[in-house]
Amino acid sequence: MHLYLASPESLLEVYRWSLTNAHPPLFFFLLSAWQRVVGVGWELCLLPASFGAAFLWVAYRWARSLFGLASSLATLALLAFLPQLVLLSAELRGYSLALLLVAGALAALERGIREESPGWVAVSGVSMALALGTHYMALRSAIALFAYGAVRLLARRSPGLLVRVWSASQAALGALFLFFYTTHVSKLRGGGMERHAQTDWLRAAYLQPEEGVLPFVLRQSAALLLFLFTSPAGALIAAVLAFGGLALAARERRPVALLLALPFVLAAAGGVLRLYPYGGTRHSIDLGLYASAAFGIAVARVTGERLWVPLVLAAVLAPAAFALGW
pLDDT tens profile 198-252: 999 999 999 999 999 999 999 999 999 999 988 888 899 999 999 999 999 999 9
Domain-embedded: residue 69: yes
**Using 50, 70 and 90 to split pLDDT, how confident is the model at 113?**
very high
Total structural domains within the chain:
1
User: Whole-number mean pLDDT of the chain?
Assistant: 94
Domain-embedded: residue 5: no
| Residue closest to 179 by CA, chosen among 146, 248, 133 | 133
**Using 50, 70 and 90 to split pLDDT, how confident is the model at 315?**
confident
% the chain with pLDDT above 90:
82
User: Per-residue pLDDT averaged across 34-55, rounded?
Assistant: 93
CA 98 from chain centre, in angstroms, equals 7
Task: Report in angstroms the alpha-carbon separations of 245 from 138, 222, 266, 319.
Answer: 23, 18, 19, 26
Which residues neighbour 233 within 8 Å (Cβ) at sequence distance 6 or greater?
none
User: Per-residue pLDDT averaged across 70-95, rounded?
Assistant: 93
**Using 50, 70 and 90 to split pLDDT, how confident is the model at 324?**
low
User: Per-residue pLDDT averaged across 63-92, rounded?
Assistant: 93
Domain-embedded: residue 9: no
Domain housing 167: 41-325
> What pLDDT does residue 318 have?
82
Domain-embedded: residue 108: yes
Cα gap 284→277, rounded to integer Å? 8
Domain-embedded: residue 28: no
Instruction: Give the CA-trace dihedral at 25, 26, 28, 31, to 10 degrees.
Output: 180
Domain-embedded: residue 262: yes
Residue 325 confidence (pLDDT) above 70? no
**Using 50, 70 and 90 to split pLDDT, how confident is the model at 272?**
very high
Domain-embedded: residue 17: no
Residue 11 confidence (pLDDT) above 70? yes
> What pLDDT does residue 110 have?
96
Q: Measure the N-to-C terminal CA separation of the chain; round to a whole number of Å.
A: 23
**Using 50, 70 and 90 to split pLDDT, how confident is the model at 165?**
very high
Residue 275 confidence (pLDDT) above 90? yes
> What pLDDT does residue 109 have?
97
> What pLDDT does residue 326 have?
53
Tell me which of 32-36, 66-70, 149-153, 316-320 is least confident. 316-320
Residue 111 confidence (pLDDT) above 90? yes
Domain-embedded: residue 291: yes
